[in-house]
Amino acid sequence: MLEVTDAVYRGGYEVYVEFNDGQSGVINFQTELEKDHREIVRELLDPEKFKTMKLAHYTLCWDNGVDFAPEYLYELLKTRQKHVA
């Protein structure tokens, strides 16, 4: 089972994440937040609300109730790494 083992807010919409399989890197959530039409997710475009990110239940969670599955975060990380490489 894929799990987020560490997460550190880096500023803006960036979060450094580590997974239990050894993969790690920075995910910038800005594009994902902007293209999501759900009100609760779009609330996180407010930098003060985005900063409330925490690691809970092996994934990223926010005070407003939003969380993203570890598998989704992993895909975001891998996709971003492909575009950088």
* pLDDT for residue 79: 83
Number of domains in the chain: 1
Q: Which domain holds residue 74?
A: 4-84
Q: What is the mean pLDDT of residues 52-61?
A: 96
* pLDDT for residue 85: 42
E-strand ranges in 29-77 read 54-56, 59-61, 67-68
CATH number at residue 57: 3.30.2020.10
Supply φ then ψ for residue 15, to 5 degrees.
-135, 130
pLDDT at residue 7 is higher than 70: yes
Long-range pairs for 13-18 at CB < 8 Å and ≥24 separation? 13/47, 13/50, 15/53, 15/60, 17/60, 17/73, 17/77
pLDDT band at 84 (very low <50, low <70, confident <90, very high): very low
